[in-house]
A and B are shown apart, each in its own frame.
Chain A
Amino acid sequence: MADTTTVARGRDSSPAPGHRRKKSAGRVRASGMPVWAIPYVLLVPGLLVIAGLLLYPMFQLAVMAFQKVGLAQIRGSRPAEWVGLDNFERILGNDIFWSALRNTVVFAFVAVALTLIMGTAVGVLLHRLGKKMSLFVVIGCMFAWAVPPVAQGVIWRSLFDAEAGIVNWALNLLPDWLAAPPTGQSSWTGTPWLNDTFTLYVALTVCVVWAGFPFIAVSVLAGLKGIPAELYEAARVDGSGPWRTFTKITLPMLKPVFAVLTILSIIWDFKVFSQLYVLMNGPTNRDGFNLSMYAVAEAFKPPQKLGTGAAISIVLTIILLLITIVYVRQIVKQEEM
Chain B
Amino acid sequence: MTPLARKRLGKILLNTAGVLVFLWAVFPVYWMVSTGFKENDQIFTTEFIPFPTHFTFDHFERVLTEGVANNSIWLYMRNSAIVALGTVLIGSAFALLSATAIARFRFKGRGAFLVVLLIVQMLPSEGLLIPLYMMVKRVGLGDQLIGLIVTQVALTLPFGVWMLRTFVAAVPKSLEEAAWIDGAGRMTTFWKVLFPLVAPGLVATSIFSFITAWNDLVFALYLMSGSEGYTMPVALQYFFGQKGVDWGAIMAGSTLMTIPVVVFFLLVQRRMVSGLVAGAVKG
Contact = CB atoms under 8 A, between A and B. Distances in A.
Interface residues of A, number: 122
Main secondary structure of the interface of A (DSSP, over half): helix
Nearest to A54: B120
Interface residues of B, number: 111
A155 B130 contact: no
Contacts of A13: 183
A203 interface: no
Contact of B128 (A46, A54, A328): A54
Contacts of A144: 25-26, 28-29
B183 A8 contact: yes
Contact of B44 (A5, A163, A264, A337): A163
Interface in B165-190: 180-188
Given A144-B26, A320-B124, A42 B100 contact: yes
Interface in A1-19: 1, 4-5, 8-9, 11-13, 17-18
A130 B10 CA distance: 12
Interface stretch (B1-9, B58-66, B67-75, B251-259): B251-259
Nearest to B132: A57
A299 B161 CA distance: 31
B150 to A, nearest CB: 7
B160 to A, nearest CB: 9
B158 A50 contact: yes
A5 B192 contact: yes
Given A148-B233, A257-B281, A331-B279, A122 B21 contact: yes
Main secondary structure of the interface of B (DSSP, over half): helix
Contact of A261 (B247, B251, B277): B277
B198 to A, nearest CB: 14
Contact of B21 (A8, A30, A60, A141): A141
Interface string B178-214: 0011111111100110000000000000000001001
Interface in A276-314: 277-278, 281-282, 292, 295-296, 299-300, 306, 309-310, 313-314
Interface stretch (A90-98, A177-185, A210-218): A210-218
Contact of B257 (A9, A150, A278): A150
Interface in B113-152: 113-120, 122-135, 137-138, 150-151
Interface in B30-69: 31-32, 35, 43-48
B97 A45 contact: yes
A126 B85 CA distance: 35
Contacts of B25: 137, 140-141, 143-144, 210, 214
A332 B105 contact: no
Interface in B84-129: 93-95, 97-98, 100-102, 104-105, 107, 110-111, 113-120, 122-129
Contact of A45 (B23, B47, B98, B280): B98
Nearest to B180: A21
Contact of B123 (A38, A58, A169, A256): A58
A246 interface: no
A306 B127 CA distance: 10
Nearest to B116: A50
A324 B122 contact: yes
A281 B239 CA distance: 11
B97 A43 contact: yes
A143 B26 contact: yes
Given A57-B135, A158-B31, A331-B118, A309 B187 contact: no
Contacts of A4: 185, 187-188
A109 interface: no
Interface string A255-272: 011011100100100110
A66 B209 CA distance: 34
A274 interface: yes
A295 B183 contact: no
Interface in A38-67: 38-40, 42-47, 49-50, 53-58, 60-61, 64
A8 B15 CA distance: 61
B163 interface: no
A145 interface: yes
Nearest to B11: A130
A320 B215 contact: no
A198 interface: no
B265 A125 contact: no
Contact of A292 (B126, B240, B262): B126
A296 B122 CA distance: 18
B157 interface: yes
Contacts of A140: 21-23, 25-26
Contacts of A320: 122-124
Contact of A278 (B127, B237, B282): B237
A133 B18 CA distance: 7
Contacts of A143: 25-26, 29, 262
A327 B261 CA distance: 28
Contacts of B23: 140
Contacts of A244: none
Interface string B209-229: 001001101100010000000
Nearest to B272: A215
A76 B182 CA distance: 59
Contact of B105 (A39, A64, A218, A306): A39
Q: 3 closest pairs, A vs B, by CB?
A: A226-B283, A12-B183, A313-B127
5 contacts: A147-B262, A149-B233, A257-B280, A273-B217, A334-B279
Given A148-B215, A148-B257, 13 more contacts: A39-B107, A43-B113, A129-B15, A142-B262, A151-B258, A155-B254, A158-B35, A164-B46, A168-B46, A226-B282, A256-B280, A313-B127, A321-B119
